[in-house]
Structures are given as structure tokens and as C-alpha cells.
Amino acid sequence: MVRQGLRALFRSAPDFFVVGEASNGEGISRLVEELKADVVLIDISMPRVSGIEATHLIKERNPATRVLILTMYDNEEYLHQMVRAGANGYVLKNADKKELFAAVRAVAAGKRFFSPGVSDLMIDEFVKHSKESTGSPEAKVVPLTKREIEILRYIAQGLTNKRIAEKIYLSVRTVNTHRNNLMQKLGIHETAGLVRYAIQSGVIELKP
């Protein structure tokens, strides 16, 4: 029903052309490649493969395709994971028609777009973490093994344990053990914290 509504909405505007749709995240990158989509509108929560992993696959195989997230989730962890996966915009499902159309046009033009509520969240988190780091001349540095750094880099890119395991030829259980070790070493208890550490420590760099 949601897809039908969105399809009808976009068909009401002359500058949009709906080339296809999918009911789950599995195989969506292949569909995007086949249909040569300019913009993909995707949710975070989808059957089989999450929107985070699907976004990473789309950007990995079709870097020119722009990905716009349309979701009900407005929390920091999901936002960081989607941005690291390569999403070009993040719109909340309470957005009106005008905002949604503006978001699609913006990402199609090579810009980034975030709903006002999401932008406020990003600013609030930046201010919060800046205040927390005041008085600390440098970020806490903890020695990590090469494997831990490799896994941390993939976590910061938004990959799931299963996807990381496939990339580096380890079991999902082993990857999960490394993730838990990272959290213990760094004193971090959520994925968003690992992403922040990866950025602050220079393990990854944010793309402009």
C-alpha cells in the first residue's frame, strides 16, 4: 500500500518517472543496475536485507545512483549508519509532498538532503560531542589489532556482521566476537559510538 501510494504520488509530477520497485532489500542493487535508476528511495527496515546493507551494495555496484532514505526512524545510530553506507539524503515519513519532492530533486542534482528534524539531530549531536571533548587535547587512543581496525572500518561503513564476514572470509560468530572486543577495549556500547571513534581516530574519513 505504501509503495502504491508513493508510485501514484511521483507519477503526479511531470519530472519524475518511476522505473521500478522492490518488496525487499534482497537483490535490489541488481535491480537498480538493470533499470539504470537515477535515484533510489529506500527504507531502513525491510525484509531479508536491511536498508543499510542494501544502500551499501547499491553504492558499491552503482556509485552514480543516488540513494534517498525515507523512514520513520530519526535516531542517531541509524542516521550515522546510513550516511556511512553512502546515503545521499534522509527524509522522515511525516514529510509532506513538497518536502519529499524537494529531497528527490536535491539528491538527483548531486546535493545532500536531510529533513529538518534530522538536521537538528545532527547539530545537537555535534554540539554534545564537542562539549564532551572540551578539555581533552586529543582523542583517547587505544591500540587495536589489524583485524580489529579492519572490522571497525567496515562497521563504520554500515555493514552488518554477516556482510563483514563474507568480505573477510570469517564466520559471523568470529566477527561478532571482534565487535564485542572492540566495544570492551574502547568502552563503547553502541554502533554509533564505534562510528564516532572511527572518524575521530582517523580510521575512516568522511567523504565530502
Residue 155 CA to residue 194 CA, distance in Å, equals 8
Instruction: Give the model confidence (pLDDT) of 38-63 as tens digits.
Output: 999 998 887 778 888 888 888 888 88
CATH 3.40.50.2300 maps onto the chain at 2-122
Calpha distance 184→142 (Å, rounded)? 11
What is the distance between the alpha carbons of residues 44 and 105, in angstroms, rounded to a whole number? Answer: 21
What percent of the chain has a predicted confidence (pLDDT) above 70?
A: 84
Which class is domain 146-200? Answer: mainly alpha
pLDDT digits (tens, 9 = 90+) for 7-50: 999 999 999 999 988 887 777 878 888 888 899 999 888 777 88
Domain span(s) for CATH 1.10.10.10 in the chain: 146-200
CATH class of residue range 2-122: alpha beta
Mark the ranges of the chain whose per-residue pLDDT is less than 50: 123-124, 126-127, 129-131, 133-139, 208
